[in-house]
Amino acid sequence: MTNPSNVLDLIEAFRRSKTMFAAVKLGVFESTPATAGEMAARLGTNLDATERLLEACTGLKLLVKTGDTFENTEEASACLTAGSPYSMLGYINYSNEVLTKLWFNLEDAIHEGTNRWNQTFGSSGPLFDSFFPTEEKMRTFIMGMHGFGKLSSPGVAQAFDLSGYRHIADLGGATGHLTIEICERYPGIQGTVFDFDKVLNVAREQIALSSAKDRIACVPGDFFTDPLPAADLYALGRILHDWSPEKIDILLRKIHATGASLLIAEKLLNDEKTGPVPAQMQSLNMLICTEGKERSFPEYRELLTRAGFSKIEGKVTGRPLDAILAQV
């Protein structure tokens, strides 16, 4: 008989993520060390159910149990607590409260080839109004992506030698994690984080914590409609995968017209698009959330060549995002 282990694993996969989501939402990782009884009292939850949840988290290597006491693993403390600079709570809560509901409608997205915001939440306005319906939800999402960026930006910043550039402008730069990483790595580079004004309120808080804070500015704007800030290197981190080819062409041509180089941070599919799995899953995520998708390096090279860029290099970083450097 064929070994069904892969199918069985996939059947249960959502249970594992939902266990982590529930533990985060309930505040488990903020309430350790504790016995099951102490945890249930702190959270106001059922004792037997709480004990099952804590035991499941030990199986998922998020908690360790010593005697009757449960404590966070090092990874859980780093990624699943609010006080950590690597916290991914925002993105986890967003995944729990928004993405899982969108993914319930994946079959309809496959039928129609469009995102599921209107079907799931009755939202039919501009795309990113759905992402940021309130100031609080915007901050939660942006800070979740900041935790993700703290993991990915070091790999992007060191993928190429950027020492010859004087000023990087990160378009849609969110909290500025990529700009901060590059400016800290290269003392001769000035940085600009370019994003919506409400997002820059969060960016300024993170920039203030950086040793390169005096070399990083924030400029509000929309990269589709507003003039771009002056720079000899632009960056697009997890931006191109949001948009249709038509909108990508507009943005890439706009950047090319400045004569500057372009650094792209995205998760690359392999040339045959048979992997890696995180990029394939993210491509489906883009289907249900946006107008875009993930691409292979040859596909990005084609887009960049069409926009006028000539020297184009791609690097797999081993981090959550890969890097492409395009020069005029």
For the question of residue 111 being annotated catalytic, the response is no
Give the residue among 148, 110, 162 at the shortest CA–CA distance from 267: 148
Q: Which residue is catalytic, options 146, 177, 241, 256? A: 241
Contact assessment for residue 172 and residue 196, using Cβ atoms and an 8 Å cutoff: no
Outline where the chain has alpha helix (H). 5-26, 36-43, 47-59, 74-79, 89-94, 100-103, 106-112, 117-121, 127-131, 135-157, 177-185, 197-207, 245-256, 277-289, 297-307
SS3 letters across 53-78:
HHHHHHHCCCEEEECCEEEECHHHHH
Report d(CA 128, CA 150) in Å as an integer.
22
Contact assessment for residue 104 and residue 169, using Cβ atoms and an 8 Å cutoff: no
The pair of three-digit structure tokens given for residue 44, joined into one six-digit string: 């106001």
CA angle 38, 42, 45 (to 5 degrees): 90
CA distance readout (Å), 104 to 116, 151, 216, 246, 320: 9, 28, 41, 28, 25
Nearest-Å Rg of the Cα atoms of the chain is 21
Report d(CA 278, CA 268) in Å as an integer.
9
Residues classed as catalytic? 241
